[in-house]
Structure 1
Amino acid sequence: MADAGVSGERRGRSPLVPAILTAIGLALIAAFLSLGVWQLQRRVWKLDLIAKVDARLHAAPVAAPPTAGPEDVYRRVTATGTFRNDRETFVQAVTEKGPGYWVLTPLVGPRFTILVNRGFVPAERRADHDRPTGPVRVTGLVRISEPKGAFLRSNDPVADRWYSRDVEAIAAAKQLGPVAPYFIDADATPNPGGYPVGGLTVVAFRNSHLSYALTWFALAILTVVGLVILWRRGRE
């Protein structure tokens, strides 16, 4: 009689719940696999980007162009002209040398004006750093404008408080007229007196796509295991 009761209980179970769980499990497996493949594709893209940037960093410098796009980021360039030291801008910065400011100075060239991040100065050297006069040549890296400000800190042009290197806003605030839509991070060539300190550009790309992909694939495998357990119990 006990066996008959168990058999009746099994026959009375609705197949709807296992079917729903199976459908959900299969959908999750498909999603996890898709995310894993996507992360592998992102890894290929990231490795290609790193290789391209590395090639730019080690290439011979070229003449600074009047415009630049994402494909020019971290390209080594040279520019000649005269600094407008009376229009320099201080942008708050935290570097390996501590907190302080980036010194952005317009370089007026024969064809166009470009903002040059001459390097870092601590707060106590803000008013006391090298300001060259006469023609100069600058070598550095192309950097794309950083509009609006930093996280939770918006630039305040009226108060001359800057938290990012926003080329367009700085050009407008300093009345520079048309400027190149990017800026140059000056290299580590020493300046008289030691400041500003150039060559502090941090070039680093986070590449965790492989670990993310393995995580998604692992979740897919665990879901498969869960479905197998579900199916086996359904047969008991």
Structure 2
Amino acid sequence: MAAVASRMLGLRAAGLLRAACVGRAGASRSVLGVTSRPGVAWMPSRCGSSAAEAPATKADDSVLQWLLLLIPVTAFGLGTWQVQRRKWKLKLIAELESRVMAEPIPLPADPVELKNLEYRPVKVKGHFDHSKELYIMPRTMVDPAREAGRISSSTESGAFVVTPFHCTDLGVTILVNRGFVPRKKVNPETRQTGQVEGEMDLTGVVRLTETRKPFVPENNPERNHWHYRDLEAMARTTGADPVFIDADFKSTVPGGPIGGQTRVTLRNEHMQYIITWYGLCAATSYLWFKKFLHRMPAV
């Protein structure tokens, strides 16, 4: 009887000890932010991690905000740069037009001086050597009657006839672009009346050599097909000096090439670029303001 009582007291003490342990564990979980309910698996609370992630997200948004602001700022800078470029181009066009309209001067004896005289009218005296004509083609005619030598509305294709001209006063032979002939008149036998002979006075505009542009074919001296003005190669082919002038319209004779084929216009598309860049600046500035500033709470 005493043994049974002693065993019952031991079991009761063990139960009380187990209950105490469970109570302490629950208290520990509560303190650590752990929720525990009967029959539900406990999960750690996310309050601490969310609080840590919030500053990082805010910092990332701030960096993105200022990076995107570079787009309108850059567009504004490029638009302003195009404004300055347009001023420079208009000034250059005005200088070229005034140079073309200047009084002709004698052709300098030193070819080095010609580097600073492009588009400047010069006058020479001598005679042509029609046996060594060169042809720059295909070309369309420039209407000499229009202002600044602008291209006419005619789309007829032809060639510029380049002929060696011996300057009797300087003792040198230069190259003269006599002007435009239609394709059917490229052969000199079809325009014999225009092959002027004898000594004559000639006025023309100084032109310098040019490099081949993209998509322009290579010159073919063997076939006498020239696509761009390569003065060194033309001089070797004809035995002339690398000096080139465009004859003016007054040099035109019946049946011969039409002179005055100097193109002095320059591309001036800077206004389009100005509108494009400033428009992009305005659009991206509006989007940036709407996304980042419009939604900010008032302080």
Task: Output the TM-score relative to the length of structure 2.
Answer: 0.67
Deviates more, 1:99-108 or 1:142-151: 142-151
Is 1:136 aligned with 2:200? Answer: yes
| 3-state SS in 2 of match to 1:113 | strand
Alignment check: 8 A CA contact 1:106 1:114 kept: yes
Distance 1:32 1:93 in 2: 40
Is 1:86 aligned with 2:131? Answer: yes
Candidates 142, 147, 155, aligned match of 2:219:
155
Residue identity in the other structure for 2:161: V
Deviation readout 1:195-226 (Å, 9 max, x if unpaired): 21111323322222133123212222222212
Greater helix percent: which structure? Answer: 2
Q: CA deviation at 1:131?
A: 2.0
Q: Residues 1-236 of structure 1: matches in 2 within 5 Å?
A: 14-65=57-108, 66-67=110-111, 68-69=114-115, 71-96=116-141, 98-109=156-167, 110-111=169-170, 112-126=172-186, 127=188, 128-129=190-191, 130-148=194-212, 151-176=215-240, 178-180=241-243, 183-189=244-250, 191-232=252-293, 235=296
Deviation readout 1:90-136 (Å, 9 max, x if unpaired): 11132145111111011121323221100111222222332222212
Residue identity in the other structure for 2:257: P
Deviation readout 1:35-82 (Å, 9 max, x if unpaired): 11211111111111011112112211111234322x533222212222
Distance 1:104 1:202 in 2: 16
Q: CA, structure 1 residues 85+46, in 2 after alignment: closer, same or farther (shift >3 Å)? A: same
Give the aligned length. 225
Q: CA deviation at 1:174?
A: 2.3
Greater strand percent: which structure? Answer: 1
Deviation readout 1:125-170 (Å, 9 max, x if unpaired): 2223322222122112222223447733110122322112221111
Higher relative contact order (CA 8 A, sep 6+): 1
- Give every structure 1 segment of 4 or more consecutive aligned residues whose post-TM-superposition deviation is greater than 4 Å: 8-13
| 3-state SS in 1 of match to 2:161 | strand
| 3-state SS in 2 of match to 1:56 | helix
| 3-state SS in 2 of match to 1:199 | coil
Percent of residue pairs identical? 33
Look at both structures and tell me which one has the larger radius of gyration over its CA atoms: 2
Residue identity in the other structure for 2:124: A
| 3-state SS in 1 of match to 2:163 | strand
* Stretches of structure 1 lacking an aligned partner (at least 5 in a row): 1-7
* Stretches of structure 2 lacking an aligned partner (at least 5 in a row): 1-49, 142-153
